[in-house]
């Protein structure tokens, strides 16, 4: 199974500079992106190690990651 990296800079390469700038200047954005990165790392870790986990729990984690990504996208797309 192929494990996709969903880091913001990977999924949104056109916004890489805006994301970097917001992480430096906007504490709220930085906190939200740190939460996103930690959750993405946790999900990918479970996928890579094939750790047994409850399907509902795994789905909830992925939905939370999508929700965080959406919030972050709305923030950085306004600054480009």
Stronger pLDDT, 45 or 14, i.e. the higher one: 14
Phi, psi of 51 (to 5 degrees): -75, 130
Tokens describing residue 29: 């954005």
Under the banding of pLDDT at 50, 70 and 90, the label for residue 1 is: very low
| DSSP 8-state secondary structure symbol assigned to residue 79 | T
The pLDDT of residue 2 is above 70: no
Domain spans, the chain: 8-78
CB 1 within 8 A of CB 62: no
pLDDT, tens digit (0-9, with 9 covering 90-100), for 55-80: 888 899 999 999 999 999 999 999 86
φ/ψ bin of 50: left (φ > 0), alpha (ψ from -120 to 50), beta (otherwise): left
Predicted local distance difference test score (pLDDT) of residue 47: 78
């Amino acid at each position: 199974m192929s494990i996709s990296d969903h880091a913001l800079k990977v999924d949104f390469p056109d916004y890489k500079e805006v994301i970097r700038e917001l992480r430096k200047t906007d504490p709220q954005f930085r906190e939200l992106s740190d939460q996103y990165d930690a959750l993405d790392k946790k999900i990918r870790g479970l996928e890579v190690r094939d750790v047994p986990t409850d399907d509902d729990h795994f789905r909830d984690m992925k939905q939370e990651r999508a929700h965080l990504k959406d919030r972050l996208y709305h923030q950085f797309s306004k600054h480009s």
